[in-house]
Amino acid sequence: MKKSISRRAAILGLSAFAALSLAACGGAPATEEAPEATTPEATEASDTTITVGASPTPHAEILNGPVKELLEQQGYTLDVVEFTDYVLPNTALEEGELDANYFQHTPYLESFNEENGTHLAAVTSVHYEPFALFSDKVASVKEISDGATVAVPNDTTNEARALLLLEQEGLITLDEGAGVTATTKDIVDNPKNLQFEEIEAANLPNVLPDVDLAAINGNYAISAGLSLDDALATEDASSLGATTYANVLVVREGEENDPKIVALANALTSPETYKFIEETYNGAVVPTFEVAEATE
């Protein structure tokens, strides 16, 4: 079920967007374990509705799948509000219109708090979506020609992740220590004289026919019908990008241990959710939590 967000939140979101140079999907060293769950009292006075903001793919799909069912078994009603941008889910949460959101990684969350004066906190890490290189013009990284045009995200965190993937594949070399803050200015070796075009992350799949190579966020690749089987390269699971940019469940500071947040966190990191992610996304979404029942 979708809800419309208030005009106030929309205005706040647009204002924040103008000042924000980051985009989010795809957390961080947020490996906090979800606290022990508490079942709510079955009374009319109990606050048993959990409203969560999420990106449509894969976040809302995961929430509306096993998570909703698990919460219903505990007496909770899960209401998922879908967003197609990275600003409104945080402003709506800050304003109390949501109980939680699930769409972003920790570096983005921390930058958003700093830029906007919000007070949001990560509860637990759920999954990461491998960044991948796609091309409509060549079949392998080795075929990339001199002077090829490469599209990368235009926001700080995801551009760095794209550049780290290009470095992983030997196409460029970044200044030592640039890490997760790397930009094209940190490229110290570009043997193929690649030409970079910085594109809004959500639009990268649309420009794929017009460039030689594009580094695309996992969630946007999924939404555009792109398969990792067709990617020229993907982030290694142990790479800096993959380990830094896992997606986290986020709430207002101080509410991390509220009973319904605890129940939500546990449902998101359950064996049922682990199995759903593995069977649904075929490697395009990878759980960051471990569950004995799911990994045996």
43-66 per-position pLDDT tens digit: 343 489 999 999 998 999 999 999
Percent of the chain with pLDDT over 70: 83
Q: How many residues does the chain have?
A: 296
Cα gap 196→55, rounded to integer Å: 27
Confidence of residue 17 (pLDDT cuts 50, 70, 90): very low
Which domains can be identified in the chain, with CATH numbers? 7-129+244-295 (3.40.190.10), 132-234 (3.40.190.10)
Instruction: Give the mean model confidence (pLDDT) for residues 208-235.
Output: 92
Q: What is the pLDDT of residue 237?
A: 77
Above 80 in pLDDT, residue 21? Answer: no
Q: How many beta carbons lie within 10 A of that of residue 17, not counting itself? A: 14
Q: What is the pLDDT of residue 164?
A: 95
Q: What is the pLDDT of residue 24?
A: 58
244-292 per-position pLDDT tens digit: 889 999 999 999 999 999 999 999 999 999 999 999 998 889 999 988 7
Confidence of residue 242 (pLDDT cuts 50, 70, 90): confident
Q: Are 91 and 256 in contact (CB under 8 A)?
A: no
Q: What is the pLDDT of residue 238?
A: 81
- Name the residue with higher pLDDT: 45 or 216: 216
Record the tokens describing residue 19, joined without a space: 């000042």
Cα gap 179→240, rounded to integer Å: 8
Cα gap 104→108, rounded to integer Å: 7
Name the average pLDDT for the chain. 86
Rg (CA), the chain: 19
Confidence of residue 218 (pLDDT cuts 50, 70, 90): confident
Percent of the chain with pLDDT over 90: 66
71-89 per-position pLDDT tens digit: 999 999 999 999 999 899 9
Above 80 in pLDDT, residue 152? Answer: yes
List all residues 6 or more positions away from 238 whose beta carbon is below 8 Å from its beta carbon: none
Q: What is the pLDDT of residue 25?
A: 60
Above 90 in pLDDT, residue 31? Answer: no
The secondary structure of residue 37, as a DSSP letter, is: P
Cα gap 212→195, rounded to integer Å: 10
Q: What is the pLDDT of residue 10?
A: 39
The pTM of this model reads 0.70
Terminal Cα-to-Cα distance of the chain (whole angstroms): 35
